[in-house]
Structure 1
């Protein structure tokens, strides 16, 4: 009992060590310190809880959804919330709760795919532009300015209209229009790093430019990019929902939240729950990402400490 009781205390002491004895311990100490700082922010913890619920719902949707999201029951169409249908049914008698639970999978898939695509692309472009400067910086940043000159939703609509409707094309369109802010952030961070003494020391040791960028610049800029990704999740969800609302994202009968709102807009005055329930889901998930992003910014951005 004593050994079991002392083990967590010993682990906490090891994670709070001011002079780590290895790189692994140093990384874990830094992660633990960040977690402790994040845990002291109640709004960030609320956001984290919302995102964890979203992940659990997306993973368990086939087992926790009370009905098949595609099953039509015309005898119970437009049933108000209550009873066997806690959130009511839509114009085809499909259970709205089941469709929202399964729609969380689509939303999470879009968010993850866009984040995986835009963060590395923007990070690479920004680090290359900031490190090399000169004509490389001018060319890459002028391309970035062209993409930033248009509103993201309008540009995404143009790409989807050219590529055709569908989740894959919606993800591609959103990714194409969302990378410029990450490039700007990475470039700004790189400009402050490239003239540092440790970069000069790495050059004197014979390190290549790409090796310096990958080994020194990227690790120091990635925290700012992570914060930006988390804060942008809400915008990505809204753009995806907007494309779905306009019929350019997920196609019927897929239970995508934006498409569900579009299907229920004609009943908004009398059968309000058809469009309101997926709208509430979008608002709650977007709020969760914003709250967590604000908390991560306080933890990861030294200028905010």
Structure 2
């Protein structure tokens, strides 16, 4: 079965668009598989997502149940990562916290990637006043540090997961728009775009069907590399009390409540910090691997 698919996907003369598309994806996978750091990153990401999805089945305890008689307990067979200041199992809170943190990050990416792609492609293809207007709006958002602007948005709304997602999304789209605009400006005068114009295709159809797909590979690389900064921003908002609110188990909020115990009960803060570190590092590894595979300038 696998050998048949391999032969079909790697055929040098595909007979259909589907075969050509699957062949390109399979070649990308083969090239990515040769990068050990990228595979390590992908493995960690898949494992983190799986642990978050199956947290109700894997968690040994309810993350919200308090046991004050067992507060700040050291790591043991009963509590592999120990307990926090309220006697809650840290391992269970890490697993459930992955659902909150990774859920926020995935939601932000789903919101900002299409927005940045659309703004950049429209600005780059139409040019003129449209380009000037959209890029000046982009420059306004780029002029402020992401965390500061996110804090301002959350403060204007109310602390919570929904407000944090909206705030991060509003501050994360400008780099994607810049990349999509640059890619669009390099291909808008290509021969195949001119051929599309001669066939009578409208400008909106050219942007949606021909230019936007050409910008996706660069955008995928940027999104993957940017996931780590989105995770850190989400954790920072939680640390500052602007993200997920107690008793919700969120990695940044867990570090905030554990900072007063860092010198004596180190395990309370180390576990969520290591979770943030490993996940961010994994996305960086995967992003570097995808850049080597998808960016023709790297080949």
The alignment's TM-score, normalised by the length of structure 2, stands at 0.99
Query: Among residues 167, 180, 198, which one is paired with 2:161 in the alignment?
Result: 167
Is residue 27 of structure 1 aligned with residue 15 of structure 2?
A: no
In the alignment, the residues of structure 1 paired with residue 26 and residue 214 of structure 2 have an alpha-carbon distance, to the nearest angstrom, of 18
* Cα deviations by residue, 1:109-168 (Å, 9 ceiling, x for unpaired): 101110011000000000000001111111111111110011101100110011110000
Alignment partners' CA distance in 1, 2:4 and 2:279: 37
**After TM superposition, where is structure 1 displaced by more than 2 Å over at least 4 residues in a row?**
7-11
Structure 2 residue 262 is the aligned partner of structure 1 residue 268: yes
Q: How many residues align?
A: 299
Alignment of 1:95-106 (within 5 A): 95-106=89-100
Shift of residue 237, structure 1, vs aligned partner: 0.5
Q: Who is 1:66 aligned against?
A: 60
- Structure 1 residue 55, shift from structure 2 partner: 1.3
Instruction: Please state if 1:229 is matched with 2:234.
Output: no
Partner Cα separation in structure 2 for residue 186 and residue 10 of structure 1 = 37
Structure 1 residue 115 corresponds to structure 2 residue 109: yes
- 1:12-68 Cα deviation digits (max 9, x unpaired): 111111111100000000000000000000000000000110111011100101100
Equivalent in 158, 172, 185 of residue 191 of structure 1:
185
Q: State which of 107, 121, 129 in structure 2 corresponds to 1:127.
A: 121
Instruction: Say whether residues 1:281 and 2:275 are aligned partners.
Output: yes
Instruction: Return the match for 2:72 from 57, 70, 78.
Output: 78
- 1:94 corresponds to which residue? 88
- Say which SS state the counterpart of residue 79 (structure 2) adopts: coil
Q: 1:11 aligns with which of 1, 5, 16?
A: 5
Choose which of 120, 125, 149 in structure 1 pairs with 2:143: 149
- Counterpart CA distance in 2 for 1:220 and 1:134 is 22
Q: 1:192-231, aligned counterparts within 5 Å? A: 192-231=186-225
Q: Which is worse superposed, 246-255 or 7-16? A: 7-16
* Structure 2 Cα separation of the partners of residues 77 and 209 of structure 1: 64
**Hey, what's the Cα distance between the residues in 2 that align with 1:187 and 1:172?**
23
**Aligned counterparts, 1:236-275, within 5 A:** 236-275=230-269
Deviation at 1:300, TM superposition (A): 1.0
Which residue number in structure 2 is paired with residue 182 of structure 1? 176
Normalised by the length of structure 1, the TM-score is: 0.97
Q: Matched residue of 2:283: which SS?
A: helix
Cα drift, residue 247 of structure 1? 0.4
Report how far residue 8 of structure 1 moved: 3.0
Deviations 1:76-119 (A, max 9, x none): 00001112011000000000000000101011110111001100
Matched residue, 1:139? 133
1: CA distance, partners of 2:122 / 2:58: 47
Gaps of 5+ in 1: 1-6
Distance 1:298 1:84 in 2: 44
RMSD over aligned CA atoms reads 0.7
